[in-house]
A and B are shown apart, each in its own frame.
Chain A
Amino acid sequence: MNRAFFAALESIYPAERLLTRDVELLPYESDALTAFSAKPGAVVLPVNEAEVIDTVRLCHERAVPFVARGSGTSLSGGSLPIPDGLTIGLNRLNRIKKLDPEQRIAVVEPGVINLAITEAAQPYGLYYAPDPSSQSICTIGGNIAFNSGGAHCLKYGMTSNHVLGMKVVLADGAVTEFGGESIEGVGIGPDLIGLFVGSEGLFGIALEITVRLMPQPEMYRTVLAAYDDLGRAGDAVSMVVASGLLPGAMEIMDRLAIKAAEASVQAGYPDAEALLIVELEGEAPQVKAEFDQLRGIIDQSGAFETRVANDEEERTRIWKGRKGAFSAVGRLSPDYIVQDGVVPRSRLGEALVEISALKAKHQLDVANVFHAGDGNLHPLILYDGREDGALEKAEALAGEILALCIHLGGSITGEHGIGMEKRDYLPAMFSEEEIDIMQALRLAIDPKEIANRGKMFPGGEAPALAQHGVHPLEAAGVISRE
């Protein structure tokens, strides 16, 4: 980043929205993948879409790499700065430009907080469905980039399934729109929304997003079942699926995750090897009938204790521990890595047994929290970064878990994305030719590879997770780990 580039930034941004001093850059040096940090050359804070477009065009012209960033909650290092690149902080583009309850849509800017949409829609009996655990701080722009999911994806899908229209600036500065207010989205012609959502910031920046809202269910019925064996909780999930019920969410936590949740938010969970949360939602008469059926299944599944949420307060209490599980693990261990692999649901039990064996082999603690309904595992690998070689050991275990997910016919990521963290594993999932085609696509849209350079694809210039020993950039003091 040279003086001429800075001067050009100064012509777009007043000094208070162009951050260059070390102390100002510090908060932007890492995201929720805290094992890494990198210092950006500068951070800009645009307040409107014209500034974003001008900035992207400037970056393209001068071949300066940029990262678009919302609240920095990416668990895969997706918003990790590029050393000496530009970070474009989008939090100030936070207007809900339109809320049309009749058509059940909202038009928002990328810096709008996920939960803010639901809050705005609530008076009309509507809500925005995708609910990542970070929903009270994460932004829609980041949700778009990583196709974020959440506990309630089984029935209504991930972010991509809730976007109807977009205006975007591509990495080379071209501005384009697709989709609109119809629930059909693009409707006719290729589904460009589906392509853009989940592209991890490599195609460009979403400037305006039309999302669909859903009617709040009339009734929730949430049951918490405690098991003295993790496999039994997994079997219970299979039984629910086989019964033909379609719950809104099915979540499992293991002993260590339960312990963490207890220590952190005092959820009042039973003392168990595994907890299963199943939630039904919909019209009251239908939910009541389904719940009778569900109770029968849970009773037969060998649960030693079941609790039913009879009102919103009890429901919130059941979810509180689950939603806080990630941050709660921080109380048990100074550092942890969150994995996000997917396995076919029927192989969940097998995966858990294997993870257990790997845990013993590496002598590390692993807390398991997962979206059991769609086979999405979230093993949290605990380590102490101050111990020599601890991170490397944790990473080795993480790598084996990803290999296991692929071996069982799944995916290395269900909802966190590849980002920085898993880019070296992309070749384990896709062939060389498939990666070449993705790379060609990226180059067709971003010939200078400036948009979120160093993410998703293996190799590249940006700091990588070192699988063995210290990364050269780390040795050179370019990146650091907490």
Chain B
Amino acid sequence: MTVCTPATVDDLQALVRDSERIHAIGKGSKTALHCPANGAVAADLSTLSGIIEYQPSEYTVTVRAGTPIRELAAALREQGQYLPCDPLLPHAATIGGTVAGNLSGSRRYRYGGLRDFILGAEVVDGLGRAFRVGGKVVKNAAGFDLSKFLVGSLGAYAIMTELTFKVFPDVPRFRSLGFDFEQLEDALAAIYFINQNIFELDALDLVPHEDRWRLLTRLAGFDETLPQRVERFSAAMTRHISPFSIAELDDSAALWDPLAKLTGAYLVKVALAPKQVPDFDRRITAAQRRYGVGGNLVWLATEDIRQISDALNASGLTGLCLRGAIDSPVIGAPLENVLAARVKQVLDPHGKLV
């Protein structure tokens, strides 16, 4: 694959115009997304990097798409802020690749995912046109919101060069608790209990743990209020749900990295509803897995990608393969949609962007 490294948006526009097929890449952290069809030129966007404008008092930040997540996160942290959608690969990925793949991490549970925090973007489409979508202020209802459309678009409609996000003040302290359950259904019942309760968790994931299921919960807030909140939460869970056991966990970055223990050759993201979990889980017992965001998505790692795609087909779900050697990263139920096709027809009529 030929790799070109446009130094400016103008270069990128020229590259798109002059190429027959083009495939945008960032740092290459999601290997399965970098297997474009034959003859495509790879546009390496990692040089289009850096924070353009950050105004902590506005809760907004504008960055070039090739900016590493870690650089953005560090700048926000310095001001006591964070991206609540919690980009998935904080140490390896660029913000553009994260948006293209729609990859939010566990803390997305509290306030929402990438689609909820993207405000606007500058893009280059398949005709080489550079233009802006969305806005730069926290609230804007003018024009069609193509910025949200970019989330999950896998670079197939337009290549992002600049992105504006809403950011929030971060909280100073965290406490994590693990609740163990003998059955998956019991752990899901605990999620349903939490869903209808007053406890505002920062994150809520579910993992197989030894021969049980462990619900990972995290509370965030002030030093002086956390002990009381942890106490209340844990007491309510004991009273209403009766878990097999409760343990305070070390609130480490590793605990809340959903991929930390997913070592299999293939890594797949699946979005699903909590009530689809029991049926789907029965079909993928051989895979390493972590249900995120209160059972609303699952990260899977496996050596046997066929089992995953069979399970997806049987459940009518779609998966996105992030790691592993594969022809097309989208597996399971196909993504074709008439509305998306109309957008493609306008932004990339010649099908250059792959």
Contact = CB atoms under 8 A, between A and B. Distances in A.
B345 A104 contact: no
A60 to B, nearest CB: 14
A387 B320 CA distance: 63
A189 to B, nearest CB: 4
Given A190-B153, A438-B144, A182 B139 contact: no
Sorting the interface of chain B by its residue count into under 10, 10 to 19, 20 to 34 or 35 or more gives 35 or more
B274 A189 contact: no
Sorting the interface of chain A by its residue count into under 10, 10 to 19, 20 to 34 or 35 or more gives 35 or more
Contacts of A102: 192, 195-196, 274-275
A396 interface: no
Contacts of B249: none
A372 to B, nearest CB: 11
B141 A198 contact: yes
A180 B271 CA distance: 9
24 contacts: A101-B195, A149-B139, A184-B293, A185-B271, A187-B297, A188-B269, A189-B335, A191-B149, A191-B151, A191-B153, A193-B148, A217-B198, A217-B200, A238-B57, A285-B221, A289-B221, A342-B138, A374-B138, A374-B139, A413-B140, A426-B143, A434-B131, A437-B125, A456-B143
A6 interface: no
Interface of A: 100-104, 124-126, 146-147, 149, 153-158, 160-161, 168, 170, 174, 176, 178, 180-199, 203, 215-218, 238, 241-242, 244-246, 282-283, 285-286, 288-290, 340, 342-346, 371, 374-376, 409-418, 422, 426, 429-431, 433-434, 437-438, 440-442, 444-445, 456
B296 A188 contact: no
A412 B59 contact: no
B157 interface: yes
Interface string B332-353: 0001011110110111000000
Interface stretch (B42-50, B70-78, B111-119, B210-218): B111-119
Interface of B: 55, 57-60, 80, 102, 111-113, 115-116, 125, 129, 131-133, 135-154, 156-157, 168-169, 192, 195-200, 221-222, 224-225, 228-229, 232, 269-276, 293-294, 296-297, 318-320, 330, 335, 337-340, 342-343, 345-347
A157 B116 contact: yes
The 10 A-B residue pairs with the shortest CB-CB distance, nearest first, are A194-B148, A187-B271, A181-B273, A102-B192, A184-B271, A218-B198, A190-B153, A244-B169, A411-B140, A183-B296
Contacts of B148: 160, 191, 193-195
A102 B188 CA distance: 9
A182 B271 contact: yes
